[in-house]
Amino acid sequence: MKAIFPYRHIHLDFHTSPLIPDVGADFDPEEFAATLAEAGVNSICCFAKCHHGLSYYPTKVGVVHPHLKPGLDLLGEQVAACHRHGINVTAYTTVVWDEEAAEKHPEWRQVDKAGRPVGRGPIDMSHRWRFLCMNTPYADYVVAQAEEIVQAYPVDGLFVDITFQSPPGCVCNACVRSMLEKGLDPTSDADLKEHSLRIERSFMARLSERVWALRPRLPIFYNSRLRLTADPEAGNPPELEHQTHVEIESLPSGGWGYNHFPLYVRYFQTQGIPHLGHTGRFHKSWADFGGLKPKAALEYECFRMLASGSSCCVGDQLHPRGRLDAGVYQRIGEVYRQVAEVEPWCEDSEPLADIGVLLAAKIPAAERTGDYSTEEGAMRMLLELHQQHQLVDRNADFGRYRLLVVPDAVEVDAPLRAKLDAFVAAGGALLVTGRSGLSAELPGWETLGVTWEGPSPYAPEFLHLEPELAAVAPPLDYVVYERGERVRALPGAEVLARVGEPYFNRTPFTYTSHQHSPIARVTDVPAITRRGKVAYCAYPLFRAYKLHGNQIYKQVIAGLLASLLPDPLLKVEAPSTAEATVLRQEVGGETRLVAHLLHYVPQRRTPSLDLVEDVIPLYDVGLAVKAPSRPRRAYLAPQGTDLPLQWDGVYASCRVPKLEGHQLICFTL
């Protein structure tokens, strides 16, 4: 998919208090742009307005920062200088967080159900901002500012931040009035959430319409809205018409963690819209002045983006005096010059996947996040097993995949069950775990080969593996810490594992030793079944893997995948710490299959941060990619070194002499 911006983007924060003097005093437009260019940056987001509600250009709509250097049009000079150096410039503006507007117009603030203004209080020492309501005249103010920016400057896009109402919803005078007019109940959380979603989507539609009337299809992105939910109507799909791309803000050390980006990008790969990864240079999170992450960490985060079909974005914050930190751009340049070298093998590439994982979490429309333990567990397992996968919702084209995973807790109603049945009837494979697809209303599932009889009476229980699966690990009845389901196998279903029951559940009156009871008996109750190309496990192994990290859960899933998908897109002889993806690229009439191999190992070195400091090389890595025909050539990119190639009629195989952090292997067809 064609990128919306060049591949080496910077998001330059500039939230600058009105208490700080000499804003922009050291700004030199030529030095600014030259510093970026020297670091390999070819795109940047510069600030029009910040969370303090202050503008950095001579606005007639908003409020100029009171200490901006006299006569300085910071935004205008940044745009002009960057364009002279061939650097793309987007403009940043903020919506709900606007301290200046909150101070002058308290009637525009969001109000919670207790009647309190949302966000920071009068003497609140927290980092919270005050929330403005998009259902008040404040929305007119923001739209007018956006129109002013795109009319006054030849910006290459808009980044519109903090576009959400605080959940469950606002009960300011304007919101209560409009809810009553629409027949909604302001005392109902469900109605508040519905009203919030209407406000948010109406605002986005309005701002995009007004901007696009001035600059047709100017790139626009609304931040703070990305969410994964099994209900696509409550998620992002209905909103994508109002924007041109998705930016996945994901600072691993800033609260997002290293599971966040691969989880989200594997969903947005399926949405037919360009996506941009978005990390930061900070040791911790935004505004971590003086914090700089190690080179290896920034490499890992940027190369992960490329391996997922994303463009790269690194977040920074400009010093109030207006001069970029030389050390920061030395570090960014060390990584972005490597990105530039491999771009020819990344541009317009499409990530390939033969496994689709259905979203299980049901996140209300007004919520920003939820419990993604199931999705994270599935993503981690498949990533560690080097399986090519994407996350999908119920509206996805299932025919794009050879195997569907329905993990742990997916609510499957009759229409979705029919869609899954049709997928299997057409030759697809299905792996279902836990309670997914089973309910009191629909207890039996013929395609799945089981009938649900209720939740397991014991927790934890034990997996007794039959011979086919027993080979994956040493002989033992393995504990499953999360509660499972009790099912009865239907005719034709082969039992691959049985339930082991403990002596009793641990209670204040029935207990033994330090933990749970040991196994007392192996029952005839099926724990894992297989019927043709459909497998079922009665335990939520994906959630259990996320929560407990027990290797046997991954080994069991790997065993099931080996029978359901014996010929995956990619095979890699590498440890589970390595990551591997494969993308297809069409270049000048030539088709390429480009495999990305990464080996960086995050470590928990503080109570709350996963850090990457060192690169641990791997040697003689075996790689096999499933190809429609014998490739003409296999080589390392960007080095151009040819690799000896074997072809067995299905897989093109080679060996990578050395993997040091990140390596591309290109197969030309």
Residue 126's pLDDT band, with cuts at 50, 70 and 90, is confident
Chain segment 596-611, per-residue pLDDT in tens: 999 999 999 998 899 9
User: Dihedral of the CA atoms 378, 382, 383, 384 (nearest 10)?
Assistant: 110
How far, CA to CA in Å, does 299 sit from each of 154, 288, 296, 401? 32, 19, 5, 31
Name residues whose C-beta falls within 8 Å of residue 519's C-beta, 6 or more positions apart in sequence: 462, 477, 500, 501, 502
Chain segment 350-391, per-residue pLDDT in tens: 999 999 999 999 887 777 778 999 999 999 999 999 999 999
Residue 76 pLDDT > 90: yes
Residue 128 pLDDT > 90: no
Residue type, 596: H
Residue 313 pLDDT > 90: yes
Domains of the chain, start order: 8-93+137-163+220-349 (3.20.20.80), 355-564 (3.40.50.880), 570-668 (2.60.40.1180)
Residue 586, φ and ψ in degrees, nearest 5 = -105, 120
Q: Report, as an integer, the average pLDDT of 470-483.
A: 94
% pLDDT > 70, the chain: 100
pLDDT at 122: 81
Residue 650 CA, chain-centre distance (Å), reads: 32
Name residues whose C-beta falls within 8 Å of residue 108's C-beta, 6 or more positions apart in sequence: 101, 102, 132, 133, 136, 137, 138
Chain segment 522-531, per-residue pLDDT in tens: 999 999 999 9
Beta bridge partners of 633: 668
Residue 124 pLDDT > 90: no
Chain segment 320-350, per-residue pLDDT in tens: 999 999 999 999 999 999 999 999 999 999 9
Q: Could you tell me if 197 and 134 are in contact, meaning their C-beta atoms sit under 8 angstroms apart? A: no
From the list 402, 387, 390, 405, the residue with the least C-alpha distance to 580 is 387
Q: How many CA atoms lie within 13 A of 636 on its CB side?
A: 14
Mean pLDDT of the chain: 96
Name residues whose C-beta falls within 8 Å of residue 649's C-beta, 6 or more positions apart in sequence: none
pLDDT at 425: 97
Q: Could you tell me if 153 and 146 are in contact, meaning their C-beta atoms sit under 8 angstroms apart? A: no
Q: Report, as an integer, the average pLDDT of 65-73.
A: 98
Q: Report, as an integer, the average pLDDT of 7-29.
A: 98
Residue type, 372: Y
Residue 216's pLDDT band, with cuts at 50, 70 and 90, is very high
Secondary structure class of 5 (helix, strand, coil): coil
Residue 34, φ and ψ in degrees, nearest 5 = -65, -40
From the list 438, 428, 560, 543, the residue with the least C-alpha distance to 496 is 560
pLDDT at 414: 93
Residue 500 pLDDT > 90: yes
Residue 584's pLDDT band, with cuts at 50, 70 and 90, is very high
pLDDT at 5: 84
Chain segment 204-214, per-residue pLDDT in tens: 999 999 999 99
Distance CA 595, CA 611 (A): 25
Q: Report, as an integer, the average pLDDT of 547-558.
A: 97
Distance CA 151, CA 149 (A): 5
pLDDT at 214: 98
State the pairing for strand pair 444-445/450-455: antiparallel
Residue 27's pLDDT band, with cuts at 50, 70 and 90, is very high
Radius of gyration for the alpha carbons in the chain, expressed in angstroms and rounded? 27
